[in-house]
């Protein structure tokens, strides 16, 4: 008789929603603080022409730290924290879609694929305007800029962060109107919907495969902590080409995904599509471990009181 071992999944109906959202915001904020420098580095690597400024992830990290200080690694961070809203919308949509799909199909892969894609669609509709502003702030380099817009530095340190953000928003609106805040929206959907749709099925696939290869007493959380980074590396590799194009469309003000792709291929060849991949995987690995362990722990902490002792999670 085949000895199959299934990792239990906590579904939406098992959760205390109040705990879930409070713990979720705190967890997401901690993750953002830890991985934001690599998000900034990835964006700069993707936007730069060839290797005009940085030779790679580590080189970019050292140069930014030396020339701009630790604060340089967190340019645009305050604006980016508003994506916490989209993060909560993402997990809500993901869990509710899984619940809805389960009425028609019990396959974990199908539920994860549909729910991940749907959640990303909702989240990106909220995130793109925030990303556009924060990415232009990421491009500022002590009086210089790698993008279309350059902030006017102010003498009053108290107003530096909010002043620069307001300056960028004003410049985007003057140049492109409201549409400017949704520049690259389609490219973002083509990046993050596949990324999310691929990540969840691979996550459950790796977890199931590892559960068959490891002893029965191996903690579920350990298997999930290993499966998350493997899924993230897989999804990042598959979607990085579109992520490079997305970054260039949003920062450089391009209007065409196809023309941006052709220009990138003409200037840098196929290797241009891998720009920022190592930074993306480096940021994804620790953040995914935290997300997976944190998210699964979050759901356990958020179980409805009557279910805490009644099921083996």
Which tens digits make up the pLDDT trace of 198-221? Answer: 888 898 889 889 988 888 888 877
Q: Residues 53-68, buried b or exposed e (16+ Cβ, 10 A)?
A: bbeebeebbebbeeee
- Work out whether the CA dihedral 12, 18, 19, 25 comes out positive or negative: positive
Mean pLDDT of 103-123: 87
E strands present in 132-232: 140-141, 144-145
pLDDT of residue 2: 40
pLDDT exceeds cutoff 80 at 270: yes
pTM: 0.73
Higher pLDDT, 71 or 220: 71
If one looks up domain 17-83+134-150+183-306 in CATH, what number appears?
1.50.40.10
Mean pLDDT score of the chain: 83
Mean pLDDT of 245-262: 90
Q: How far apart are CA 257 and CA 62, in angstroms?
A: 32
Position 305 confidence tier, pLDDT thresholds 50, 70, 90? low
Helix (H/G/I), strand (E/B), else coil: 145? strand
């Amino acid at each position: 008789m085949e000895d199959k071992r299934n990792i239990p999944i906590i579904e939406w109906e098992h959760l205390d929603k109040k705990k879930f959202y409070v713990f979720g915001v705190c967890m997401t904020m901690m993750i953002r603080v830890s991985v934001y420098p690599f998000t900034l580095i990835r964006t700069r690597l993707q936007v730069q022409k060839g290797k005009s400024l940085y030779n790679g992830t580590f080189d970019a990290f050292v140069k930014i730290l030396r020339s701009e200080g630790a604060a340089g690694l967190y340019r645009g961070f305050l604006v980016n924290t508003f994506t916490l809203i989209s993060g909560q919308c993402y997990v809500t949509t993901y869990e509710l879609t899984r619940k809805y799909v389960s009425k028609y199909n019990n396959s974990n892969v199908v539920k994860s694929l549909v729910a991940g894609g749907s959640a990303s669609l909702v989240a990106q509709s909220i995130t793109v305007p925030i990303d556009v502003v924060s990415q232009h702030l990421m491009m500022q380099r002590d009086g210089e800029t790698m993008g279309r817009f350059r902030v006017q530095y102010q003498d009053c340190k108290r107003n530096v962060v909010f002043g620069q953000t307001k300056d960028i928003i004003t410049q985007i609106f003057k140049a492109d109107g409201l549409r400017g805040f949704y520049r690259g929206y389609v490219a973002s959907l083509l990046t993050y919907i596949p990324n999310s749709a691929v990540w969840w099925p691979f996550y459950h696939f790796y977890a199931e495969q590892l559960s068959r290869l490891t002893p029965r007493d191996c903690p579920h959380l350990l298997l999930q902590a290993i499966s998350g980074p493997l899924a993230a590396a897989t999804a990042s590799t598959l979607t990085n080409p579109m992520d490079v194009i997305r970054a260039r469309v949003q920062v450089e003000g391009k209007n065409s995904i196809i023309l941006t792709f052709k220009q990138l291929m003409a200037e840098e060849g196929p290797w241009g599509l891998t720009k920022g991949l190592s930074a993306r995987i480096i940021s994804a690995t620790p953040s995914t471990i935290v997300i997976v362990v944190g998210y699964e722990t979050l759901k356990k902490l958020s179980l409805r009181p009557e279910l805490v002792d009644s099921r083996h999670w």
